[in-house]
């Protein structure tokens, strides 16, 4: 019986595993450019979807602000005359209070839109970084595959020279150790590439099995930018400045509402009295009530609102200067990254590769030992890895500059 159960488990699980493997292999590889990735994230990112639903909350707030007070129906039965009465009580808002409430709600709704726009810029930055992080991971995997090929070729050269009696067996062991190390690094890079792909799919809200053929490269040329123009654009579109300006608008609307609330509301009552045997059976009644603002007229709230406006104006001035400094710092960081890319790509990388090739040729000709070759190859690998990292850092610096400015700087 145990053997029979084990047999049935194999019959069930093996086809299931085979079908899963076929499904994974059949998953199509979709082309993806950077603009497409940004568009997908802007439309599908779950954080943005949740944030945009706050618009419904803001719209409901406008409806609440525009609500009119309901009338009150009163009925009384007394032992005194008249014995019964029924009347309506309806307040009338004076001074444009409803209009000012609606204006304040609209300003608060615009504050919600600014928060959504700020999140959109953050998602744009993380998507750009996620896109090029996957490109970096794949470039690193390709680099380490070449490193493994070089290590295997060096191992073969060492074996041939050992069999010819030119070198001791120690150098063969060293070459095999270097090959094992390169193969291990390659396998780790493959797993890190899967992690980068998963992170990008999370940002795009795509299934975890989705694979992408990236159309953009790490070496793509970035749009030209100039510091004065960036500072000017940041003054108009920086999210911190936009939020402070809108908070000031909200506070000004609140100040107008507080001033309107100093005008008292008019309370109207009208109805009928019934059953006063000595005077009448039914008779109309009416009453007008008006509050008298003798002692308090929102002085404290108005003073607080004015003080808040002064605080926001001061914070806006300080933030404006801080934003200019942040833009300058982000711009200089971008320039530094570009300089590093140009230096490594134009000089250091070709020189290190040439040195590694010369060392391998010298070793093959018996003019150098294996440690010289390994050292030259490692130096070339370090330079190439630094070059790839600098390319990603350049793209990341550009994404950070875009977020600081608060506006796209080109594709």
Do residues 123 and 269 touch, judged by C-beta distance below 8 A? no
The reply to whether omega before 33 is within 30° of 0 (cis) is no
Find the range with the poorest average confidence among 12-21, 89-98, 193-202, 284-293: 12-21
* Average pLDDT of the segment spanning 70-95: 87
Find the range with the poorest average confidence among 5-9, 43-47, 161-165, 214-218: 5-9
pLDDT of residue 27: 59
pLDDT of residue 411: 52
Is the pLDDT reported for residue 13 higher than 70? Answer: no
Is the pLDDT reported for residue 25 higher than 70? Answer: no
Q: How many angstroms separate the CA atoms of 148 and 117, rounded?
A: 46
Residue carrying structure tokens 């994404």: 399
Across the chain, mean pLDDT equals 89
Q: How many angstroms separate the CA atoms of 404 and 327, rounded?
A: 6
pLDDT of residue 10: 41
pLDDT of residue 280: 80
* Average pLDDT of the segment spanning 325-342: 95
Backbone phi and psi for residue 263, each to the nearest 5 degrees, phi listed first: -80, 120
Q: Give residues with Cβ within 8 angstroms of 337, minimum separation 6.
A: 390, 393, 394, 397
What is the band of 24 on the pLDDT scale with cuts at 50, 70, 90? very low
Is the pLDDT reported for residue 218 higher than 70? Answer: yes
Q: How many angstroms separate the CA atoms of 55 and 280, rounded?
A: 58
Burial class (CB in 10 A: 0-12, 13-18, 19+), 307: exposed
Is the pLDDT reported for residue 64 higher than 70? Answer: yes
What is the band of 8 on the pLDDT scale with cuts at 50, 70, 90? very low
Domains of the chain in sequence order: 33-320 (1.20.1600.10)
Q: Note every long-range contact of 194-198, with CB atoms under 8 Å and residues 24 or more positions apart, other chains counting.
A: 195/137, 196/130, 196/133, 196/134, 196/136, 196/137, 197/134, 197/137
Find the range with the poorest average confidence among 248-252, 261-265, 292-296: 292-296
What is the band of 5 on the pLDDT scale with cuts at 50, 70, 90? very low
Model confidence over 106-125: pLDDT tens digits? Answer: 999 999 999 999 999 999 99
Is the pLDDT reported for residue 4 higher than 80? Answer: no
Is the pLDDT reported for residue 288 higher than 70? Answer: yes
Is the pLDDT reported for residue 189 higher than 50? Answer: yes
pLDDT of residue 281: 82
* Average pLDDT of the segment spanning 234-263: 93
Residue carrying structure tokens 């009295």: 273
Do residues 212 and 32 touch, judged by C-beta distance below 8 A? yes
Do residues 399 and 125 touch, judged by C-beta distance below 8 A? yes
pLDDT of residue 277: 82
More confident residue, 16 or 196: 196
């Amino acid at each position: 019986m145990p053997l029979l159960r084990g047999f049935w488990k194999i019959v069930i699980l093996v086809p299931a595993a085979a079908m899963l493997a076929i499904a994974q292999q059949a998953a199509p590889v979709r082309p993806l450019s950077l603009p497409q990735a940004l568009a997908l994230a802007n439309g599908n990112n779950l954080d943005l979807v949740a944030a945009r639903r706050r618009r419904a909350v803001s719209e409901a707030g406008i409806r609440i602000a525009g609500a009119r007070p309901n009338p009150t129906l009163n009925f009384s039965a007394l032992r005194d005359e008249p014995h019964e009465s029924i009347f309506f009580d309806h307040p009338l808002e004076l001074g444009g209070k409803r209009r000012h409430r609606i204006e304040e709600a609209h300003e608060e709704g615009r504050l919600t839109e600014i928060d959504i726009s700020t999140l959109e810029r953050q998602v744009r930055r993380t998507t750009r970084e996620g896109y090029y992080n996957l490109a970096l991971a794949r470039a690193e995997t390709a680099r380490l595959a070449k490193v493994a090929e070089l290590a295997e070729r060096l191992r073969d050269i060492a074996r041939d020279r050992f069999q010819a009696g030119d070198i001791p067996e120690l150098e063969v062991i060293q070459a095999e150790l270097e090959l094992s190390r390169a193969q291990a690094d390659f396998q780790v890079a493959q797993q890190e590439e899967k992690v980068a792909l998963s992170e990008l799919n999370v940002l795009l809200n795509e299934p975890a099995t989705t694979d992408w053929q990236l159309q953009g490269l790490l070496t793509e040329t970035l749009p030209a930018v100039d510091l004065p123009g960036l500072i000017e654009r940041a003054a108009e579109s920086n999210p911190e400045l936009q939020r402070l300006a809108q908070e000031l608008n909200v506070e000004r609307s609140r100040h107008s509402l507080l001033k309107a609330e100093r005008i008292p509301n008019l309370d109207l009552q009208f109805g009928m009295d019934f059953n006063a045997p000595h005077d009448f059976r039914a008779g109309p009644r009416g009453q007008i009530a008006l509050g008298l603002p003798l002692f308090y007229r929102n002085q404290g709230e108005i003073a607080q609102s004015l003080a808040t406006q002064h605080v926001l104006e001061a914070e806006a001035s300080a933030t404006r200067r801080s934003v200019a400094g942040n833009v300058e710092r982000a711009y200089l960081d971008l320039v530094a990254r570009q300089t590093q890319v140009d230096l490594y790509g134009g000089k250091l990388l070709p020189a290190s590769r040439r040195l590694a090739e010369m060392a391998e040729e010298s070793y093959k000709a018996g003019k150098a030992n294996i440690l010289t070759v390994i050292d030259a190859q490692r130096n070339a690998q370090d330079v190439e890895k630094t070059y790839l990292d600098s390319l990603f850092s350049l793209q990341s610096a550009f994404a950070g500059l875009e977020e600081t400015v608060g506006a796209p700087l080109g594709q």
